[in-house]
Amino acid sequence: MVKNIECEICGTRINKIFITKVEGVILRLCEECSKYGMIINIINKGEKRKIDVKNSLDEEEYELVEDYQKLIEEARKKMNISIEELAKRIGEKESLIRKVERGEIRPSDNLIEKLEKILKVKLKEKINYKFDKKEERKEKLRIADVVEIKE
């Protein structure tokens, strides 16, 4: 049973909960604030439902390593294969591989996976978010407390 749920943006008590994705984050919102994102589900007070929605903070996130172009070129040369051969093996254009090795283009996630598999290198590293735990607040801080919402 839904009890005492507050909108995670404005803080008003809500009977009808709009599970909404806003800028990649899943929030429980009132109908008014749900317009700022994509509604995933709606729950009426008194309903029992389990929602299988992952918050983006629960998932591990990765970013491309800083010196990816150097790692790619060194791994390719170590395997003694040309840019042309590498391009054929992964099904991409030679010009794309050249631009990636020069750092002119950031490779797509799909290309990163192909390169990691063929060259046996790690081109992504896990992002470690560090949050400073400041003094505990007795009141809940809401998005509307720190952000000005434009209409």
* CA nearest to 68, candidates 24, 20, 101: 101
Quick: pLDDT tens for 37-66. 898 888 876 655 444 444 444 455 778 888
Q: Got the DSSP string for 82-127?
A: -HHHHHHHHT--HHHHHHHHTTSSPPPHHHHHHHHHHHT---EEE-
What pLDDT is stored for residue 25 in this prediction? Answer: 86
Q: What is the largest CA-CA distance in the chain?
A: 66
The pLDDT of residue 1 is 43
Superfamily of domain 62-126: lambda repressor-like DNA-binding domains (1.10.260.40)
Low-confidence ranges of the chain (pLDDT < 50): 1-2, 49-58, 136
Question: What pLDDT was estimated at residue 58?
Answer: 46
Q: Domain residues of the chain, as ranges?
A: 16-56+133-146, 62-126
Output the pLDDT for position 2.
43
> CA–CA separation, 78 vs 81, rounded Å?
8
pTM of the model: 0.49
Whole-number pLDDT of residue 59: 52
